[in-house]
Amino acid sequence: MKQIAKFHKVSRERFLADWNDTFGEDGTAVYEDIRLPQRATRGSAGYDFYTPCPIQLAPGETIKVPTGIRAEMEEGWVLMIYPRSGLGFKYRLQMDNTVGVIDSDYFYSDNEGHIFIKVTNDSRSGKQIELPAGVGFAQGIFMEYGITVDDAAEGIRNGGLGSTTQKV
């Protein structure tokens, strides 16, 4: 196995600002309990991302979760984030952007590369999702990627969603 990445917590200041912006409340106690993503077994490809607080979603409801996590990885790698397969299978828990793509240079953004995960309970059978704090709700898989032989990208990222397509 290639060891190409390391997870970190974002700074306390970054997390508290993002938590307050998302939920309108103090997240100090939440920050202390953030768990870094881990694989559950030796053969697991995915690193589990854990709920930083209890999550309850009725059918059709959505939540944007500031995870408090950032991923430092070698260039040429990407972190792909998916819902945990069991939650998708049982409840149709869906990520709002289908798959999260965390590029290696996102780690260096002004927001410290803070990873947010937005999910929706897309249940068609009326099932409510209730997850206590500290359980896996998403999984991240590191993947190597290639570029074209005539690639000339030299831009520098600063930001998250949509930041690489914004004109300067």
Both structure tokens of 87: 């939650």
Examine the pLDDT at 164 and tell me if it is beyond 70: no
Q: What angle do CA 58, 137, 95 make, to 5 degrees?
A: 65
Residue 152 lies in a domain: no
The residue type of 136 is: G
For 132-150, letters b (16+ CB in 10 Å) and e give eeeebbbbbebeeeeeeee
Residue 154 lies in a domain: no
Examine the pLDDT at 161 and tell me if it is beyond 80: no
Taking only the tens place, the pLDDT of each residue in 95-147 is 999 999 999 999 999 999 999 999 999 988 899 999 999 999 999 999 999 99
Both structure tokens of 122: 């897309």
Residue 14 lies in a domain: yes
Examine the pLDDT at 24 and tell me if it is beyond 80: yes
Share of the chain above pLDDT 70, in %: 94
Domain that holds residue 136: 5-146
pLDDT at residue number 155: 85
Q: How many domains does the chain have?
A: 1
DSSP secondary structure letter of residue 105: G
Sign of CA dihedral 11, 12, 13, 16: positive
Residue 138 lies in a domain: yes
Nearest to 61 by CA among 122, 124, 127, 138: 122
Share of the chain above pLDDT 90, in %: 85
Residue 101 lies in a domain: yes
Between residues 113 and 164, which one has the greater pLDDT? 113
Task: Tell me the pTM.
Answer: 0.91
Residue 36 lies in a domain: yes
Residue 156 lies in a domain: no
pLDDT at residue number 102: 97
Nearest to 27 by CA among 17, 38, 35: 17
- Residue 168's pLDDT band (boundaries 50, 70, 90)? very low
Backbone phi, psi, residue 105, to 5°:
-80, -10
pLDDT at residue number 162: 52
Residue 151 lies in a domain: no
